[in-house]
Every structure is written in structure tokens, then in C-alpha cells.
């Protein structure tokens, strides 16, 4: 009987310990600078400051990604390195996927954002 109870605890523990399938995360917003754009691979790399460090984020640009440059609708090919952008993306098992990319207007006088 004691062995049966122990087996039950082991089996219940194994069921609870098994990882749940990873669901897609909620959308995340990020302001960053475009580092590079690869139209053929449908990828974009952006750079942002985190504390005293810089981070480069590479993300896929899906066919439903809304791209806006200077307030108007645009294509991935119209994005160039340099401008500050607002990016909305999701983390998936396949990596980061951009849902929206919009260039931000420069600040008056060229100050920091």
C-alpha cells in the first residue's frame, strides 16, 4: 500500500512538472533606432539603450506588419537605417515578430528622445 501511495505522488508530480506549451506573448512596444533592414529575409534589426548598454533586437517582419514612414503607409523596402521608430512586436517560439513599425519625427532642435 505504501508503495502505491508513493507511486501516486511520483506520477502526480510528473504531471505537474511537465512544461505547458508556450503561448505567444502579449505585444510589446519599443522605441529604437533602425540598424539594418533585410528586405529579402523580411528582417529588421533595431538598437535601443537599456541602462548603460545598447541592445540589438532582430525581428521578422510578417506580411501583416503595418509599416508607416513619415506618417504614411510604407513598405519594408522604404525603411532605412538611422531613423528612430516605434515597434510593436510579439515574442514567439520562432523569435520576435514585428506587428507594426512607425518612424517617429525628429525632435525640434535635434535633442534626445
Residue 5 belongs to a domain = no
Neighbours of 15 (CB within 10 A): 8
In a domain, 83, yes or no: yes
CATH of residue 105's domain is 2.40.50.320
In a domain, 88, yes or no: yes
Domain enclosing residue 89, as ranges:
28-110
At residue 50, the pLDDT reads: 80
Interval 38-79: pLDDT, tens? 999 999 999 998 889 999 999 999 889 999 999 999 999 999
d(CA 13, CA 32): 44
pTM of the model: 0.73
Residue 42 lies inside a defined structural domain of this protein: yes
**Count: domains in the chain:** 1
pLDDT at 110: 62
Instruction: Report if residue 106 sits inside a domain.
Output: yes
Residue 10 lies in a domain: no
Please report the pLDDT score of residue 9 as a whole number.
39
Mean pLDDT, rounded, of the chain: 82
Determine, yes or no, domain membership for 17. Answer: no
Amino acid at each position: 500500500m505504501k508503495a502505491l501511495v508513493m507511486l501516486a505522488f511520483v506520477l502526480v508530480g510528473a504531471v505537474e512538472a511537465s512544461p505547458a506549451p508556450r503561448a505567444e506573448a502579449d505585444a510589446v512596444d519599443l522605441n529604437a533606432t533602425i540598424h539594418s533592414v533585410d528586405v529579402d529575409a523580411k528582417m529588421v534589426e533595431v538598437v535601443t539603450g537599456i541602462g548603460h548598454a545598447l541592445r540589438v533586437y532582430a525581428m521578422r517582419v510578417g506580411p501583416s506588419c503595418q509599416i508607416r514612414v513619415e506618417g504614411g503607409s510604407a513598405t519594408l523596402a522604404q525603411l532605412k537605417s538611422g531613423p528612430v521608430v516605434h515597434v510593436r512586436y510579439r515574442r514567439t517560439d520562432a523569435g520576435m515578430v514585428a506587428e507594426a513599425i512607425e518612424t517617429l519625427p525628429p525632435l525640434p532642435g535635434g535633442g534626445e528622445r
